Amino acid sequence: RALRYAEHHDLSDEEKKALTMWEYCLTAIEQDPLTLDREIDWVIKHHLVEAYRDRHDLDLADARVALVDLQYHDVSRSRGLYYRMQRRRLVETLVTDAEIQHAVENPPDTTRARLRGEFIRRAKERRRDYTVDWVHLKLNDQSQRTVLCKDPFKSQDERVEKLIASL
Protein backbone atom coordinates (compact mmCIF):
# COMPACT_ATOMS: atom_id res chain seq x y z
CA ARG A 1 0.00 0.00 0.00
CA ALA A 2 2.81 2.41 0.89
CA LEU A 3 4.64 1.51 -2.32
CA ARG A 4 1.48 2.18 -4.36
CA TYR A 5 1.16 5.55 -2.64
CA ALA A 6 4.80 6.36 -3.44
CA GLU A 7 4.29 5.53 -7.12
CA HIS A 8 1.71 8.33 -7.43
CA HIS A 9 3.22 10.99 -5.17
CA ASP A 10 6.43 12.96 -5.16
CA LEU A 11 8.45 11.88 -2.15
CA SER A 12 11.45 13.64 -0.69
CA ASP A 13 14.78 11.82 -0.71
CA GLU A 14 14.35 11.25 3.03
CA GLU A 15 10.89 9.73 2.52
CA LYS A 16 12.21 7.48 -0.27
CA LYS A 17 15.04 6.30 1.97
CA ALA A 18 12.61 5.60 4.83
CA LEU A 19 10.34 3.64 2.50
CA THR A 20 13.27 1.59 1.18
CA MET A 21 14.46 0.80 4.71
CA TRP A 22 10.93 -0.06 5.80
CA GLU A 23 10.48 -2.46 2.88
CA TYR A 24 13.89 -4.04 3.58
CA CYS A 25 13.04 -4.61 7.26
CA LEU A 26 9.52 -5.90 6.62
CA THR A 27 10.83 -8.38 4.05
CA ALA A 28 13.56 -9.55 6.43
CA ILE A 29 11.10 -9.89 9.31
CA GLU A 30 8.86 -11.99 7.09
CA GLN A 31 11.71 -14.24 5.91
CA ASP A 32 14.14 -14.35 8.85
CA PRO A 33 14.13 -11.55 11.43
CA LEU A 34 17.48 -12.66 12.87
CA THR A 35 19.19 -11.38 9.70
CA LEU A 36 18.55 -7.85 10.96
CA ASP A 37 21.46 -8.12 13.39
CA ARG A 38 22.80 -4.68 12.46
CA GLU A 39 19.51 -2.79 12.21
CA ILE A 40 16.97 -3.88 14.84
CA ASP A 41 17.72 -3.41 18.54
CA TRP A 42 16.21 -6.63 19.87
CA VAL A 43 17.95 -8.69 17.17
CA ILE A 44 21.30 -7.01 17.88
CA LYS A 45 20.92 -7.75 21.59
CA HIS A 46 19.74 -11.31 20.92
CA HIS A 47 22.87 -12.04 18.88
CA LEU A 48 25.09 -10.43 21.53
CA VAL A 49 23.54 -12.41 24.40
CA GLU A 50 23.54 -15.69 22.48
CA ALA A 51 27.17 -15.25 21.42
CA TYR A 52 28.14 -14.55 25.05
CA ARG A 53 26.18 -17.59 26.27
CA ASP A 54 27.78 -19.84 23.65
CA ARG A 55 31.29 -18.53 24.34
CA HIS A 56 30.96 -19.15 28.10
CA ASP A 57 28.54 -22.11 27.98
CA LEU A 58 25.94 -20.31 30.13
CA ASP A 59 22.26 -20.87 30.75
CA LEU A 60 19.91 -17.99 29.94
CA ALA A 61 19.07 -17.68 33.67
CA ASP A 62 22.73 -17.12 34.63
CA ALA A 63 23.35 -13.78 36.37
CA ARG A 64 26.23 -13.01 33.99
CA VAL A 65 23.82 -13.16 31.07
CA ALA A 66 21.50 -10.74 32.87
CA LEU A 67 24.47 -8.42 33.37
CA VAL A 68 25.24 -8.45 29.63
CA ASP A 69 21.58 -7.62 29.03
CA LEU A 70 21.84 -4.61 31.38
CA GLN A 71 25.22 -3.50 30.05
CA TYR A 72 23.85 -3.47 26.51
CA HIS A 73 21.41 -0.71 27.53
CA ASP A 74 23.83 1.28 29.72
CA VAL A 75 23.44 4.89 28.55
CA SER A 76 27.06 5.66 29.38
CA ARG A 77 28.85 5.94 26.05
CA SER A 78 32.02 4.54 27.63
CA ARG A 79 30.39 1.49 29.30
CA GLY A 80 27.31 0.65 27.24
CA LEU A 81 27.78 -2.41 25.06
CA TYR A 82 25.61 -0.92 22.32
CA TYR A 83 27.96 2.06 22.09
CA ARG A 84 30.97 -0.25 21.96
CA MET A 85 29.35 -2.08 19.07
CA GLN A 86 28.59 1.25 17.43
CA ARG A 87 32.23 2.36 17.69
CA ARG A 88 33.29 -0.93 16.08
CA ARG A 89 30.74 -0.33 13.31
CA LEU A 90 28.85 -3.52 14.17
CA VAL A 91 25.47 -1.76 14.10
CA GLU A 92 23.82 0.60 11.64
CA THR A 93 23.14 4.15 12.75
CA LEU A 94 20.70 6.49 11.05
CA VAL A 95 21.66 9.79 12.62
CA THR A 96 24.83 11.47 13.83
CA ASP A 97 25.61 12.44 17.42
CA ALA A 98 25.26 16.09 16.34
CA GLU A 99 21.75 15.41 15.02
CA ILE A 100 20.83 13.70 18.28
CA GLN A 101 22.13 16.63 20.32
CA HIS A 102 20.21 19.06 18.10
CA ALA A 103 16.99 17.05 18.64
CA VAL A 104 17.55 17.02 22.42
CA GLU A 105 17.92 20.80 22.47
CA ASN A 106 15.30 21.64 19.82
CA PRO A 107 11.96 19.85 20.17
CA PRO A 108 9.72 19.68 17.08
CA ASP A 109 7.66 22.86 16.65
CA THR A 110 4.49 20.92 15.85
CA THR A 111 4.18 18.82 19.03
CA ARG A 112 3.67 19.24 22.76
CA ALA A 113 7.42 18.66 23.11
CA ARG A 114 7.76 22.31 22.08
CA LEU A 115 5.59 23.29 25.06
CA ARG A 116 7.61 21.08 27.42
CA GLY A 117 10.90 22.38 26.08
CA GLU A 118 9.87 26.00 26.41
CA PHE A 119 8.55 25.44 29.94
CA ILE A 120 11.77 23.70 31.02
CA ARG A 121 13.99 26.33 29.41
CA ARG A 122 12.14 29.23 31.06
CA ALA A 123 11.93 27.50 34.47
CA LYS A 124 15.69 26.87 34.39
CA GLU A 125 16.39 30.48 33.39
CA ARG A 126 14.39 31.68 36.39
CA ARG A 127 15.74 28.95 38.69
CA ARG A 128 12.30 27.65 39.50
CA ASP A 129 11.64 24.12 40.75
CA TYR A 130 9.50 22.12 38.34
CA THR A 131 8.38 18.59 37.47
CA VAL A 132 7.71 17.40 33.93
CA ASP A 133 6.56 14.10 32.44
CA TRP A 134 4.97 13.17 29.10
CA VAL A 135 1.71 15.00 29.81
CA HIS A 136 2.20 17.17 32.93
CA LEU A 137 3.98 20.48 33.41
CA LYS A 138 4.13 21.33 37.09
CA LEU A 139 5.55 24.32 38.89
CA ASN A 140 6.65 23.15 42.35
CA ASP A 141 5.67 26.23 44.30
CA GLN A 142 3.10 26.82 47.04
CA SER A 143 0.18 26.56 44.65
CA GLN A 144 1.57 23.44 42.87
CA ARG A 145 0.25 24.67 39.52
CA THR A 146 -0.02 21.85 36.97
CA VAL A 147 -1.05 21.85 33.32
CA LEU A 148 -2.16 18.61 31.68
CA CYS A 149 -1.16 18.39 28.00
CA LYS A 150 -2.90 15.32 26.57
CA ASP A 151 -2.68 16.02 22.83
CA PRO A 152 0.81 15.16 21.52
CA PHE A 153 0.20 17.24 18.37
CA LYS A 154 -0.83 20.43 20.14
CA SER A 155 2.11 22.82 20.09
CA GLN A 156 0.22 25.89 21.36
CA ASP A 157 -1.66 26.04 24.66
CA GLU A 158 -2.83 29.19 26.39
CA ARG A 159 -2.67 27.47 29.80
CA VAL A 160 1.02 26.67 29.29
CA GLU A 161 1.69 30.22 28.10
CA LYS A 162 0.08 31.52 31.32
CA LEU A 163 2.13 29.10 33.43
CA ILE A 164 5.33 30.25 31.71
CA ALA A 165 4.35 33.90 32.13
CA SER A 166 3.86 33.30 35.87
CA LEU A 167 7.48 32.22 36.25
Model pLDDT for residues 7-58, shown as the tens digit of each residue: 888 999 999 999 999 999 999 999 999 999 999 999 999 999 999 999 999 9
One domain, residues 9 and 79: yes
Asked if residue 97 belongs to a domain, the reply is no
- Cβ atoms of 42 and 72 within 8 Å: the answer is no
82 and 42 in a common domain = yes
Q: pTM, whole model, 2 decimals?
A: 0.71
Contacts of 114 (CB under 8 A, 6+ apart): 107, 108, 155
**Structural domain span for residue 44:** 2-87
- % of the chain exceeding 90 in pLDDT: 88
Res. 104: pLDDT tops 90? no
> Are the beta carbons of 119 and 137 closer than 8 angstroms?
yes
Residue 95 lies in a domain: no
Residue type at 128 in one-letter notation: R
Query: Residue 153: is its pLDDT beyond 90?
Result: yes
Number of domains in the chain: 2
